[in-house]
Each structure stands twice: as C-alpha cells, then as structure tokens.
A = this chain, B = another copy of it.
Amino acid sequence: MMDQIAPFAPPSYADITAAGERLAPLAVRTPLLESAVLNDLVGGRILLKAETLQRTGSFKFRGAYNFVSQLDETQRRRGVVAYSSGNHAQGVAAAAALVGAPATIVMPSDAPAIKLDNTRALGASVVTFDRFGDSREEIAAHLAAETGATLVPPYDHPWTIAGQGTVGLEIVAQAAEIGTSPNMVLTCCGGGGLTSGIATVFAHRAPSTEIYTVEPQGFDDTARSLAGGEIVSNQADAHSICDALLAPMPGELTFAINSQLVTSGLAVSDDDVRRAVIFAWQTLKLVVEPGGAVALAAVLSGAMACQDRTVAVVLSGANVDPELFSDILRNGAAG
C-alpha cells in the first residue's frame, strides 16, 4: 500500500462510461478477435482485443481524446503539451487536431521514426530530447509554463485513465456478445493507465475476473511494486525493444488503483516478444509492435497458463519501424 496521497481521485466506473460516450463517434470500437490456431495451441480461449486497429495505431487515442475534449475554449486555444515515446504522442496530436488545439510533443530522439513522423503528420510540433540525459517531464513542464498550454498526462490522471478504461468496457460487451466472460485479462503495462482503467471496469462489472500486467524484463517496475506493496523503479541502464513500455516507475494514481485491483504482474523477455510479434504477423495476420505484444508473449511463452481458461489479451499498439519489423521477421528470436 502507498503512504502518499495521490494528487487526484481515481476515476469512477461512471467516469469511464462517460468517456465511452465521448469517444463513441471518433474512436474505433476495435474488434475482439479469436484464432482457432491460437486456441488449440494453448488449450484455452484467447480473446484478442486489437487496439492495434485503433485510430493512431494504439489505445492511447482514447485517454488523450477523453482528456483534451474536456478542456474549455481558452485552454484549447492555449494548446496542449505532452511527453511520450510515441503512442501517447500520436494520440494527443490526433485528439488536439480534432478539437482544434495546437499540440507540442516532447519525444525521445531515439523514438521509432514512424512515431516521430506520424506525430508530425497529425499536425503537432515535435521537440526531441535525450532519453538518457534530459528530463522529459521538466521539458514539457517548462513548455507548458511558457505558453500556458495544458500538459496531457500520459497515464497518471483520472481523465486519461478513464479513456483507457473504455477498452475494458468494450471487452466486457464484446465478450458478452459471443456469450462469454473472461476469467483473466492480460494487458501491457508502462505507467499503468491502461491497466488501471481496465481493472476499474472489471471491478465493477465482473469482479471475479483476474487482471494481470505484463512488462518487459528489466522494466517490471509494476510487477515488483505490486509484489512489495510500494512503488519501486527500474534500473536506469535497462534496455528493451519494447519502446512503448519504458516508464521508469508506476504512476502514483495508477499504482494506488492497481495495487487494489490487479492480481499480479508478469515479465517477458525480448525474445518472447519477438516470437509474439512473428506469431501475430504469421498466424493472426496482425501487425503488433514489440510493446504491444507483451501480453500475447506471456500467453505464448507459457508465462501465463491458459489451459481451459478464457483470457482477454490486449494487443495495445502497432507503431513499429519497417526496419525493425522486417529484421524480426527475417531473424526471429535469438534464443
């Protein structure tokens, strides 16, 4: 449990359904897909929530639009600022364009080119920083103070969390449409916004469903924080191909929620992730970026046993450079 008081109250289930109404005209109700080959392979029923097919290629549009659309006219005119490795960047850029707000995004200089390019193509100004030197939070805060722009938090804010939670609303509804309800939900975890939103929905709608986070090895800060009951950080020198999941530690608000609602956290290796990216391409016919494939990797690697279980697996994003992707396809996993 945390000693600190989170700066905001957690979003309620009603906040998430309100986000769902805001998003309905603009977000994709991404399909919940099933593969006979995958089901046979694991001996269970895997329901794949393909947020890869979401506007901007990841779930991040949901939280960004739910946040930006609640700003008033003056705030919109002053614009928005965000820091992001790339998926939140594109989500904020697209959301800001839809409400007519100028957007400035602080991105690591080593972000995938596709994420930098797409963010600019959506009309945002991009400011790059050195991921191993500068503080992106400080740069973004400075930009916000200078221009009066509003910072759009990537995860640690109830509006962001409520937007991401709409993924959970759809999983519940789409599973019901095919006559089932998942025993477990596996989702990737960076700062914890997607997890905390989904967990809030299931706590309200299907409280017996177990929620698990999946992180890259070396970035399993949430798993270790959950296990120890307090926020811990990752080693500063850790590396992973999952560029979307390199947050240094859980958010305060997201961890306050996840420590109550998440069963536990899993970690997968980069080679597990490469195999999952290949499986998604070859068998599921879906493009998934490394960070978007960690939950699938947990299923395929056996890190989570799925025998006789119905398991919702979030495929969270698909923005990956063609060089890295074709390298993975050609060379597969080293181990």
Binds B, one of A12-20, A62-70, A241-249, A280-288: A280-288
Residues of B within 8 A of A28 (CB): 33-34
Quick check: is A3 within 8 A (CB to CB) of the other chain? no
Q: Is the CB of A285 within 8 A of B286?
A: yes
Quick check: is A88 within 8 A (CB to CB) of the other chain? no
Q: Is the interface of A mostly helix, strand, loop or mixed?
A: helix
Given A34-B28, A53-B33, A322 and B287 touching (CB < 8 A)? no
Residues of B within 8 A of A326 (CB): 325-327, 329-330
Complex: how many Å from CA A185 to CA B329?
A: 33
Which of B36, B55, B286, B323 contacts A287 (CB under 8 A)? Answer: B286
- Taking the nearest CB of chain B, how far is it from the CB of A301, in angstroms? 20
Quick check: is A318 within 8 A (CB to CB) of the other chain? yes
Within 8 A of B (CB), among A238-297: 278, 281-282, 284-287
Mark contacts of A85-106 with chain B using CB atoms, 8 A cut-off: 1 yes-contact digit, 0 otherwise.
0000000000000000000000
Q: Is the CB of A285 within 8 A of B318?
A: yes
Interface-central residue, A53, A57, A278, by most chain B CB under 10 Å: A53
- Taking the nearest CB of chain B, how far is it from the CB of A311, in angstroms? 18
Quick check: is A213 within 8 A (CB to CB) of the other chain? no
Complex: how many Å from CA A284 to CA B31?
A: 13
Q: Is the CB of A285 within 8 A of B53?
A: yes
Q: Is the CB of A322 within 8 A of B318?
A: no
Within 8 A of B (CB), among A25-49: 28, 31, 33-34, 36
Quick check: is A114 within 8 A (CB to CB) of the other chain? yes
Additional pairs, 5, CB under 8 Å, beyond known A31-B53, A325-B326: A31-B33, A52-B285, A53-B286, A281-B322, A323-B330
Interface residues of A (CB under 8 A from B): 28, 31, 33-34, 36, 52-53, 55, 57, 114, 278, 281-282, 284-287, 318, 322-323, 325-327, 329-330
A-B contacts, 17 listed (Cβ < 8 Å): A28-B33, A31-B53, A33-B53, A52-B285, A53-B284, A53-B285, A57-B285, A114-B282, A278-B322, A281-B287, A281-B322, A286-B287, A287-B287, A322-B330, A325-B326, A326-B326, A326-B330
